[in-house]
Structure 1
Amino acid sequence: MTPDVSTLRDDLVARLLDHCGQVCVTGDEDPIATTVAARYTELGEPVTRVGNSIVVDGRRPGRDAPLVLLVGHLDVVPPTDDDREPRVATIGDTEVVIARGASDMKAGNVIAMAAFEDGELRDTSPYDLALVLYGGEEGGAEDNELREVLDTVPWLTEAALAIVLEPTDGEVQLGCLGGIHAELRFVGQQAHSARPWHGENALTKAGRFLAELHDDHVRDVEVDGIAYRDVWSATMAWTPGLAPRARGDGLEPGERVARPFRNVVPGTFTVNLNLRFAPSRSLEDAEVELRDRVGERAEVTVVDLAPPAPPRLDHPVVRAFVNTVGAPVAAKQAWTDVARFAEVGVPALNYGPGLTAQAHQRGEFAPIDAMVTGHDQLVRFLTTPRS
């Protein structure tokens, strides 16, 4: 069931080089989804395809075993010249695979696929397994196919645990932050900048709030003994205005484009406020908190909402994973698709061999030793009898 270290290492490297060989940017996952579906169809596994997402049903008939989902996404962000061609290299004293998506999150996919394809493991494991490899994760929430997968394959929502193999630096990262994007519109009165007393500068009107945000934007929150952080960030800001562009820049005669005049005191100033909050309260509670903090100082329009996910240390299968794997436990200080599983009542956690600091970097890489360790710890959990 478990090959020697050298054989396992070579196998995982070969798998990752192959998996990264199809650089499928978000929205263009059809080639890699087709390849993965064909692989498991040839292996005789039941495969369901939903858009560019693949579900491989590894449940054994006649068994009354809890279902564990091994979950990863197939898409990547656009490659760079430094990571377009997958290869093995040495960085410092560490042997790595360099490739777009190596850490985020194809190294995780690879250890999941290797475990899933181990027939002896699946025959003797106290758990049934299913492999969920989905598209659209790196794009906008509306393009993420995981929710459609869960709607189309409803038996997935009966799982006892979903292991999302995002990069976690080898930690077990529990739960995830929720997120709100809100546009704060500070309203003044437009005027000529030579006579600002004829109006009210909406930009400087926002100053007190922005200064407050600068001084108080991180708050520690503990949930079930795990330390999360609420983070308030102003990420964008803009003023309105119309100005003609110069000739020769592709515009039709007389055409105008949005651009502020420099000699106008702006009558409105809009700030995008992003609140990332711990799973200590609901999305609705966090929105009330945001609106209360802004108060009457600006008009608030919520433009994006993402629910948090609780750590679920109270769930026996989550606890079994934590106890068996023996890796450090931490909060997921970000949003991940564990939240989508939480929405349908499936306990989920983040655990993967990739490096969080390598996600979306030029020359992205994943350490080979981390893949071997991650595989061994995942297999240990999947083969340890339930208490």
Structure 2
Amino acid sequence: MDSFSTETLADPVALTRALVDIESVSGDEQRITDTVERALRSAPHLSVQRDGNVLCARTELGRERRVVLAGHLDTVPIADNLPSRVDGDVMHGCGTSDMKSGDALALHLAVTLPAPRHDVTYLFYDCEEVEAERNGLSRISRTRPDWLAADFAILLEGTYGEVEAGCQGTMRARLTATGVRAHSARSWLGSNAIHAAGEALDRLRGYQPRTVVIDGCEYREGLNAVRIAGGIAGNIVPDECVVEVNFRFAPDRTEADAHAHVREVFAGLPLKVEITDSAPGALPGLSEPAAADFLAAIGTRPRGKFGWTDVARFASIGVPALNYGPGDPNVAHARDERVEIPLIRSGAEALRRWLA
């Protein structure tokens, strides 16, 4: 039975390594969740609940404000990068950056900070690295929304020690061009769907994305073809071609705005435009007093989050949220995934300074 020693829980670097060395590929989080639960239940100042492989630990001190520290416990599949290893000031291993170093900060504070200045909810959840319908935080937002209720939330995803406010929305669409199938030796009897799809690619090539500044944070949009499929055989004019596009949109657009924009970009073309997946962005929410206190404690200027993160799930229920964690997002999911040890220590110190 795995457990963390008192000494390990007191040291966020040692705790990061201990968490990394518990394999927890998405869908296989039982062992790590059990171990984190035992650590949380060892702290008498916490009220702990569990739903599947989602853990909620709360202080109940009657403070004026409640804040959330949240992180997912799963990783992408192992790539010959376990167990962890340390080389100087760098820790290598699957999950070091995304996001067990962030989880370690939350678990370390949960156990070692009995009387924070705000009441704190610590959330640990499963299946973030796979399809959205399996995401533990998404499920809990529907079935236990009270677990997410707060004045402010921090998702401890890797930001390389910077503060990234809000996040952009994401949307995928299928553009289907149709034609008439024919033998390529008599191509004039058909209509080439791949050629027809070229008009959509021309629109994408000439597309001018917006740059939007909200609360001093810059968000850069992008609309790109990410996959194309068409063709039947080497001697047939194809009658269908599908282009998949991905739109990353600034959080001042709603999902409906984003859908309408994509349809507008391809208006007038002989295409079927089908929205296949979308998720809203999250506004920065920097006006919340707890967010201002946090930024003062961190001492860095926030920037916009270009990708999509689970802060959007908090924003959807009216809880402003930020991204902050020691991991480097540029090496997340890489075979040589790693985290810089000084960023783990400085992150723990900054969060303690804010909460204590």
Alignment partners' CA distance in 2, 1:237 and 1:64: 54
Q: Name the SS for the 1:185 alignment partner.
A: strand
What is the TM-score when the length of structure 2 is the normalising length?
Answer: 0.93
Aligned AA (1:85)? P
Q: Counterparts in 2 of 1:205-244, with a 5 A limit?
A: 205-216=196-207, 218-239=209-230
Deviations 1:126-145, CA, capped at 9 Å, x for gaps: 20111100001000111101
Q: Counterparts in 2 of 1:354-373, with a 5 A limit?
A: 354-373=327-346
Cα deviation, residue 28, structure 1: 1.0
Would you say 1:47 and 2:45 are equivalent positions? no
Cα deviation, residue 349, structure 1: 0.6
Moved more, 286-295 or 44-53: 44-53
Runs of 4+ in 1 over 6 A off after TM superposition: 7-10
Asked if the contact 2:10/2:108 (under 8 Å) is kept, the reply is no
Moved more, 147-156 or 221-230: 147-156
Aligned AA (1:210)? L
Equivalent residue, structure 2, for 1:198:
189
1:107 to 89, 101, 104: 101
What is the aligned residue count? 348
Asked if the contact 1:59/1:130 (under 8 Å) is kept, the reply is no
Would you say 1:87 and 2:85 are equivalent positions? yes
Alignment partners' CA distance in 2, 1:360 and 1:380: 30
Moved more, 36-45 or 131-140: 36-45
Equivalent residue, structure 2, for 1:176:
167
Alignment partners' CA distance in 1, 2:228 and 2:264: 21
Alignment partners' CA distance in 1, 2:223 and 2:159: 23
Q: 1:306 to 1:186 in 2, by over 3 A?
A: same
Equivalent residue, structure 2, for 1:330:
303
Equivalent residue, structure 2, for 1:248:
none
Alignment partners' CA distance in 2, 1:319 and 1:179: 27
Asked if the contact 1:50/1:152 (under 8 Å) is kept, the reply is no
Aligned AA (2:241)? F
Asked if the contact 2:156/2:324 (under 8 Å) is kept, the reply is yes
Alignment partners' CA distance in 2, 1:8 and 1:46: 21
Would you say 1:275 and 2:250 are equivalent positions? no
Q: Counterparts in 2 of 1:297-308, with a 5 A limit?
A: 297=269, 298-308=271-281
1:287 to 250, 253, 259: 259
Aligned AA (1:78)? P
Deviations 1:251-272, CA, capped at 9 Å, x for gaps: xxxxxxxxx2111111111011
Alignment partners' CA distance in 1, 2:184 and 2:290: 64
2:319 to 346, 349, 355: 346
Aligned AA (1:275)? F
1:311 to 284, 300, 306: 284
Alignment partners' CA distance in 2, 1:312 and 1:13: 30
Cα deviation, residue 9, structure 1: 12
Q: Name the SS for the 2:318 alignment partner.
A: coil
Asked if the contact 1:55/1:131 (under 8 Å) is kept, the reply is yes
Cα deviation, residue 114, structure 1: 1.4
Alignment partners' CA distance in 2, 1:98 and 1:157: 32
Asked if the contact 1:157/1:345 (under 8 Å) is kept, the reply is no
Cα deviation, residue 10, structure 1: 8.6
Would you say 1:134 and 2:125 are equivalent positions? yes
Cα deviation, residue 239, structure 1: 1.8
CA RMSD in angstroms comes to 1.8
Cα deviation, residue 208, structure 1: 2.6
Equivalent residue, structure 1, for 2:3:
none
Alignment partners' CA distance in 1, 2:268 and 2:309: 33
Aligned AA (2:152)? L
Cα deviation, residue 57, structure 1: 1.7
Deviations 1:157-206, CA, capped at 9 Å, x for gaps: 43011110000011110010111111000122212111211111111111
Cα deviation, residue 8, structure 1: 10
Equivalent residue, structure 2, for 1:23:
23
Moved more, 36-45 or 371-380: 36-45
Equivalent residue, structure 2, for 1:3:
none
Equivalent residue, structure 2, for 1:320:
293
2:350 to 359, 366, 377: 377
Alignment partners' CA distance in 1, 2:197 and 2:146: 50
Q: Name the SS for the 1:237 alignment partner.
A: strand
Alignment partners' CA distance in 2, 1:214 and 1:10: 53
Deviations 1:302-354, CA, capped at 9 Å, x for gaps: 11011110011222222222232112311110000000001111111100011
Cα deviation, residue 102, structure 1: 0.3
Cα deviation, residue 66, structure 1: 0.8
Q: Name the SS for the 1:314 alignment partner.
A: coil
Alignment partners' CA distance in 2, 1:104 and 1:28: 16
Alignment partners' CA distance in 1, 2:179 and 2:292: 54
Aligned AA (1:239)? G
Alignment partners' CA distance in 2, 1:176 and 1:11: 30
Asked if the contact 1:177/1:332 (under 8 Å) is kept, the reply is yes
Aligned AA (1:195)? R
Aligned AA (2:170)? G
Equivalent residue, structure 2, for 1:96:
90
Q: Name the SS for the 2:345 alignment partner.
A: helix
Asked if the contact 1:217/1:233 (under 8 Å) is kept, the reply is no
